[in-house]
Amino acid sequence: MPAHSHADVHPHTNAHGRDAESGALKAALALLVAFMIAEVAVAVISGSLALLSDAAHMLTDAVALVMSLAAARLAARPAGGALTYGLGRAEILSAQANGVTLLVLSVLIVIDAIERLFSPPHVQGGPVLAVALAGVGVNLVATRILAGRSGEQRSLNVEGSYRHLLTDLYGFLATAIAAVIILTTGFARADAIASLVISALLLYAAYSLLMASGRVFMEAAPAGLDPSEIGRELAAHPGVVEIHDLHVWEVTSGFPALSAHVVVRAGDDCHQRRRELQKLVQDRFDVAHTTLQVDHDAAPQAPLQIELPHRQ
């Protein structure tokens, strides 16, 4: 039975897309660093430990953006040597690191918030409100930058930094509300309650990032792609006798891959069938990187005839 194998290598890096993402990360990082320096200055002048703590949180956001930039640069390197897929999964590592960072921050904030609920410190509402409102503005601009090109999907790497900034935005909103309550009612525990709200947002963002990056590392099918549906579509194609060893996974963000063993009817043009199936997978499921091994079905064998010698 003749066997035919085929492996197409499709470039998975979009140079224009990666340049745009790197530019967005750099712009967001510049905004964050400038705001963090101003926040530290106000914290020192006002003697506000709350603002200084928030500046430390902003520092983790800046570190997350630096990691995302480094990962994007690594992922842009061409494949070569032992790294036949390149360094695309550096972006997934960055996303997972961002998820772990958010998780650790949420736990630390919960611990601090519980202490403040039992023993609320004196909080200067005025400086906290001013910085929180400025933080809302800065994070609105930064998240808008990372929200990216309309209609295009962010890589998981950029998504990690985006989640950091988005939770910061919600956090500043909660802090501003708490500052208004403190200024108008003197209820100091509002600061701790706002911290618990921020912690819940951080936990949700961490869970989403860790689940998404974990799917890639476990080589699960990309979200939205059902291997069973793909298998049924391939098996129903004219001339296909059987589909087995079907695998669908994601190498890195935006780079789904598929491999399968296809059996076609004896006598069919297996190369034509392979091209048809590749086009079907790309058009129907948007998977451009496919490896299909195509074999012919065994031709029916004529019954064995044995001639016996005639007796005299």
Q: Residue 8 has what pLDDT?
A: 43
On the question of pLDDT at 6 being above 50, the answer is no
More confident of the two residues 154 and 70: 70
- Mean predicted confidence (pLDDT) in 48-60: 67
On the question of pLDDT at 121 being above 50, the answer is yes
The CA-based angle 157-215-94, given to 5 degrees, is 25
Rounded to an integer, what distance in angstroms lies between the CA atom of residue 202 and that of residue 167? Answer: 6
On the question of pLDDT at 252 being above 50, the answer is yes
Task: Write down the domain spans for the chain.
Answer: 15-217, 222-296
Q: Residue 267 has what pLDDT?
A: 86
Rounded to an integer, what distance in angstroms lies between the CA atom of residue 49 and that of residue 183? Answer: 17
More confident of the two residues 294 and 10: 294
Rounded to an integer, what distance in angstroms lies between the CA atom of residue 103 and that of residue 80? Answer: 35
Contact between 260 and 247 under an 8 Å Cβ cutoff? The reply is yes
Which of the given ranges, 93-102, 119-128, 229-238, has the highest pLDDT on average?
229-238
More confident of the two residues 267 and 121: 267
**Packed helices 156-185 and 15-46: angle between N→C axes, nearest 10 degrees:** 20
Q: Residue 51 has what pLDDT?
A: 64
On the question of pLDDT at 1 being above 50, the answer is no
Kindly report the pTM of this predicted structure.
Answer: 0.74
Lowest average pLDDT, out of 67-71, 121-125, 186-190, goes to 121-125
The enclosing H or E element of 291 equals strand 289-296
Residue written as tokens 């600061």?
Answer: 191
CATH 1.10.1280.10 describes domain 15-217 = no
Rounded to an integer, what distance in angstroms lies between the CA atom of residue 88 and that of residue 156? Answer: 11
Write the class of the CATH domain 222-296.
Answer: alpha beta
Residue written as tokens 């897929």?
Answer: 85
Rounded to an integer, what distance in angstroms lies between the CA atom of residue 24 and that of residue 27? Answer: 5
- Say how many C-beta atoms besides its own lie within 10 A of residue 146's C-beta: 22
Contact between 261 and 234 under an 8 Å Cβ cutoff? The reply is no
Q: Residue 280 has what pLDDT?
A: 95
Q: Residue 264 has what pLDDT?
A: 93
